[in-house]
Chain A
Amino acid sequence: MKKVVLIGILIGFFVEGYTQVQEVNVTSALGNTQGSFSILFQRDWQLWKKKKFAVGVGGRFTSYFGANQYYITAPAKLTSGSTGPLVIFKENIVANIDTFLIKSPQVNSLNLLINLSYKFNEKFTVGFNIDAIGFSFGGNKSGNYINGIVGSRESASPTIFNILLISDNDRGSLNSELYGKYYWNEKWGIKLAAQFLFTEYTTENEVQQSPELNDRFRNKSLLLAAGITYKIN
């Protein structure tokens, strides 16, 4: 299946030509006691004769903030018991999951992203984008590490290196959006999106002791996002 998609994209590029489109958009997202703000630049290649399907790459800065958010054990080896590509289908192993409660998490990330979109007409486009690799930064936070009935106060910082792998194999803070765009003229449009955002903290010490040492804790948030988009060319 992957080969078919890849061959289709290559045909689009080299046989039928492409059109480049560059775009900037600013998006804010809100959920229950959390939110985000992001700025994205992307360059899309619209493929095939009708130029309806596009693939693109770009960069995105995301700033996430929340109140009293629960972060849970992050590594797939602990949450799913394995690190293979099938972890996406595995249930969490509850006994392996500890919690890190942060009063005011705030994570900033700068990532390269991948974009796929389909243009219905000049006004409507739908698509999906996802961060692939980058880095994060933010202040050191104190939180409540909870392991069953015992707990302690610990310090943590955003995990610095971000990389998209598969499901809980991901590392760091990664943003993704399933979006629809409406362009009211040639340049300007609005975007509505479901934003799925991973943020991750690394504790100063490996606070989780069982079933093995761990210092990475992840929060997954599904937010409703809205933004403004501008075509550069």
Chain B
Amino acid sequence: MKYLSIILTFCVLLSCEEENNTPSIPINDNFDPTMATKLKMGSFVGVSGHSVSGMAATYDDNGAKVLLLEPLNSQNGPDLKVYLSKDLNAGSYINLGSLKSTTGKQTYSIPGNPNLDEYPYVLIWCQQFSVGFGRAEMQ
């Protein structure tokens, strides 16, 4: 029984191999920050041994809130999402969508007009494996 459990666990671990499925072609979303009002900004640092760099900024664009990541450089990973989070561990968050690319200028709409003071962190988060890749503290 002990050996069976070990074999089963080994097989499960083997099948957990991660796939880096986030696009890596640089993108350049059409957004002019000079035409919008900057609300908060922060710079990315990698977490959990991952490398992420670049700036994050939130804007009020004619009443719509937008997150701009520029220039983002993120290590690739599976199922990477962009979260606006109340804490560093995605304890309560708004999912802004899948990371469009590991590099380049990219924008994300912030739905529901949330109070950004309640969401002081932007996280690059691997949802499938519940692992943080990068964080930016917004001030």
Contact = CB atoms under 8 A, between A and B. Distances in A.
A106 B74 CA distance: 32
Contact of B90 (A28, A32, A151): A151
Contacts of A26: 1, 4
- Chain A contact residues (Cβ within 8 angstroms of B): what range? 20 to 34
Interface string B48-68: 000000000000000000000
A101 interface: yes
Contacts of B93: 150-152
A101 B128 CA distance: 8
A208 to B, nearest CB: 15
B57 to A, nearest CB: 20
Nearest to A103: B130
Interface string B11-26: 1110110000000000
A103 B125 CA distance: 14
Interface of B: 1, 4-5, 7-9, 11-13, 15-16, 83, 89-96, 111-112, 127-130
Contacts of A33: 12, 15-16
Given A28-B4, A34-B12, A150 B127 contact: no
B129 A151 contact: no
Given A149-B111, A153-B91, 10 more contacts: A28-B4, A28-B7, A30-B12, A33-B15, A67-B12, A67-B16, A101-B128, A103-B129, A144-B127, A151-B93
Given A35-B11, A149-B111, A68 B94 contact: no
A152 B94 CA distance: 9
A32 B15 contact: yes
A205 to B, nearest CB: 13
A37 B96 CA distance: 39
Contacts of B128: 68, 101
A66 interface: yes
A65 interface: yes
Contact of A35 (B1, B8, B83): B8
Nearest to A150: B94
B63 to A, nearest CB: 19
Contacts of B91: 152-153
A26 B92 CA distance: 42
Contacts of A68: 16, 128-130
